Structure 1
Amino acid sequence: MVLSTHAFRHDSRADVGAPARHDVFRLPALCASVSDARARIRARLREWGADAELRDDAGLVMTELFTNAVRHTDSRRITCALHDVGSAVRLEVTDQGRGEGDPMPCAATADEEGGRGLLLVSVLAAAWGSDPAADGTGRVVWAELALHRAPH
């Protein structure tokens, strides 16, 4: 079951960069939900007028953050949020906690299949980090991506 809310500015401006907009949704903490989270973020950014580069980057960042929440916590559900903060979009993934330590990029060897997700996030995002969840039971991992403008 997907629970969601989204808000939009009251004027007719369609460009990303309108800070009053956000979208929040919850998905089961399953590997199968990763593609749903990525698609939701990409679709919402398309509605907001974001260019393809920003949609691709945000989709990849959401994939990495959601996957980490599934793999490294024993959460039953994950809350995702997309906020238009004016000069950037902010992605947030909130787990239910019980993971080990704070998220940190690691140095994966050439033979390892995983371990590069947060390194990718750090390259694509203008800033990223983690904070305790508002309810005190989990963690919010967030990333802010600077806006990319398509040429007119």
Structure 2
Amino acid sequence: MESVTPPAPLRTEATEGRPGDLAEAWPEGAEVCVSFALAPRPGSVAQARRLMRTQLDGWSVRDDDACDAAALVISELVTNAVVHTASRRIICELCADSEKLRIAVRDEGCGSGMPRPVHRGADDEHGRGLLLVDAVSSAWGVHEAGPDIGRTVWAELRRTAPSVTTTAAAYA
């Protein structure tokens, strides 16, 4: 069995004077970010989820629904980078401010075409990842750096998931 040592963050930015518990009054417009590199292998998906959950806990993101949505998003984006590109490494970036979380996964390209949601048949077992990302995110997109240079797929989520009552009222 291969031993996996979690990678050290590549970049961390913190706003000066940021409170220890980010659930407290976070300065308007303040944002913190951390990024880490992963190997392009299937086990990196679980590693990305663990690292992200640890970081969200450190940022005092306590909303279980928001954390679960973020775990789903990072799982889908890292899986796509592992499966659909020939990247030698994958970079994940997590950012948070007082209202939202942003998850970005950068690969080295080499995949065929731009990532986009695809509607599959009821019996298909794969291919719904970006549909799930679209469903749980407030916004998402793709930034293409250039041919064979890479791309970044990102998604934004609210730090606090809407309540069931609020969501139901929106569809009433």
Q: Report the TM-score when normalising by structure 2.
A: 0.79
1-side partners of 2:43 and 2:106: how far apart?
17
Shift of residue 119 of structure 1?
A: 0.5
Alpha carbons 1:3, 1:27 under 8 Å: kept: no
Shift of residue 13 of structure 1?
A: 4.4
- Per mean C-alpha deviation after superposition, the further-off stretch among 63-72 and 108-117 is 108-117
Unmatched segments (≥5 aa) in structure 1: none
Number of matched residues? 150
Report the aligned-residue RMSD: 2.2
Alpha carbons 2:99, 2:160 under 8 Å: kept: no
Equivalent residue for 1:12, pick from 4, 8, 19: 19
> Could you say which structure has the larger radius of gyration?
2
Q: Which residue of 2 aligns with 1:27?
A: 38
Alpha carbons 1:94, 1:133 under 8 Å: kept: no
Equivalent residue for 1:46, pick from 57, 69, 76: 57
The structure-2 alpha-carbon separation of the partners of 1:108 and 1:21, relative to structure 1 and needing over 3 Å to count, comes to: same
1-side partners of 2:131 and 2:75: how far apart?
13
Percentage of identical aligned residues: 38
Unmatched segments (≥5 aa) in structure 2: 164-172
- Per mean C-alpha deviation after superposition, the further-off stretch among 104-113 and 3-12 is 3-12
